Amino acid sequence: MRRICLLACSLMLSGALQAETTSVKLQIGVEGILETPAGPTQKAVLLLHGWNADMNEVGNLYADLAVQLADRGIASFRISFSGEGTRTGYVVSSTFDSRVGEAEAALQFMQEKFPKALLGVQGYSLGGLTAMGLVGRYPDTFKTMVLWAAAAEMRINGDAAYDAAVRKAMKEGSAIYKAWTDITLTREFISGFVGVNVESNLALYNGALLTIRGDQDFLPGRDAEWLKLAPTDDKAFILMGGADHIFHVLDDSKPGYSERLLRSTTNWFDRTL
C-alpha cells in the first residue's frame, strides 16, 4: 500500500514539473513562444529564425530545439520577425534594423522574465546575421552563441533570378522572386540591408561561439574567419559533410543531419551556460 502511495505521489510530482509553453505578444506587436523548463530557470536562450521563416523554423527545428533545451533545464524564447513569411503573404519589408530591433525587444523581455539567468543566443541563416548584429549592440550580455548556416550578408550568391528581382525592385519598388514560393521583394527590404556588415561585431563579443554549416550549403561559408575574429578560446566550427542549408530536415530519408544539429546545439548550450 505504501509503495502504491509513493508511486502515485511520484506521478503527480512529475506531472506538476513539466515544461510550460506560453504564447507571448511583445508590446511592439511581435509574437513569440516562451518555453520554460520545470523548476527554477537559471539559463535561457533567444532563438532567431531565418529569412521568411517563423518562430518554429523550417521542419519545426526551433520548436524541437526548445523542447530539448527545456529537458536540460534551459528556457528559450523564439519570435516571428515582422515583415516576412506567411504573416505578410511573402511580401518582404523587413530590414536589418527592424530585425535587430525586434530581437532587442525579445532580449529585454527575457531579461525581465529571468533577471538572474545566464543568456545565450541562437541564429539560423539570416537569423545568424541578426544575432551578430544583436551582439554588436550587447557584446557582454550573452555568455554563448550558436550560428546555423549563418549569412554574412543578405545576398544569394550565384542566383541570377534573385539578382534580377533585386534590380527590378530597386527600380520599380517591388518584384517577384520565385523560390519555394513567390516572394515579393520590396525596395524597403533591399535598401535596408545595403552596406550591412556584422562580422566585425564578433571581435567585440566575449562569449563562447559555435558555428555549424553543411558543406552543401548554397551560402558562402566564412565560419573559419569568424572564429579568428572571436577573442574567446571556447569556440568551434562543425562542418557537416553532405548537409545542405536546411540540414535535410524535410527529407525523411536523411534524419541524421537535423538530429545531429539539434544534439550538438543542445549539448553546447548545456555546457556553456
- pLDDT band at residue 250, thresholds of 50, 70 and 90? very high
What mean pLDDT is predicted for residues 171-197? 95
Residues 6+ apart with CB under 8 A from 229: 199, 200, 202, 203
pLDDT tens, position by position, 70-99: 999 999 999 999 999 999 999 999 999 999
Integer Cα distance of 79 and 55 in angstroms: 5
Instruction: Please name which of 238, 203, 245 lies closest in space to residue 223, comparing C-alpha atoms.
Output: 238
The pLDDT, as a whole number, for residue 17 is 59
Element (H, E) at 78: strand 75-79
What mean pLDDT is predicted for residues 105-121? 97
Q: Which residues partner with 34 through β-bridges?
A: 22, 77
CA angle, 183 then 186 then 190, to 5°: 105
CB 75, CB 34: distance < 8 Å: yes
Answer whether residue 6 shows pLDDT above 60: no
Integer Cα distance of 105 and 28 in angstroms: 8
Sheet strand arrangement including 43-48: 20-25, 31-36, 75-79, 43-48, 118-124, 144-148, 208-214, 235-240
Tell me, rounded to whole angstroms, the distance of Cα 109 from its chain centroid. 16
Integer Cα distance of 116 and 49 in angstroms: 25
- CA Rg, the chain, in Å? 20
Integer Cα distance of 81 and 127 in angstroms: 10
CA angle, 58 then 61 then 63, to 5°: 110
What mean pLDDT is predicted for residues 247-262? 96
The pLDDT, as a whole number, for residue 10 is 39
Beta strands in 117-207 (DSSP E): 118-124, 144-148, 174-178, 182-186
The pLDDT, as a whole number, for residue 39 is 86
CB 41, CB 75: distance < 8 Å: yes
What mean pLDDT is predicted for residues 221-241? 97
Global pTM value: 0.92
CB 93, CB 191: distance < 8 Å: no
What mean pLDDT is predicted for residues 27-44? 95
Element (H, E) at 24: strand 20-25
Kindly state the DSSP code that residue 96 receives in the 8-state scheme.
H
The pLDDT, as a whole number, for residue 12 is 37
Answer whether residue 2 shows pLDDT above 70: no
Answer whether residue 246 shows pLDDT above 50: yes
Average pLDDT value over all residues in the chain = 93
Residue 125 dihedral angles phi and psi, to the nearest 5°:
55, -120
Q: N- to C-terminal Cα distance for the chain?
A: 43
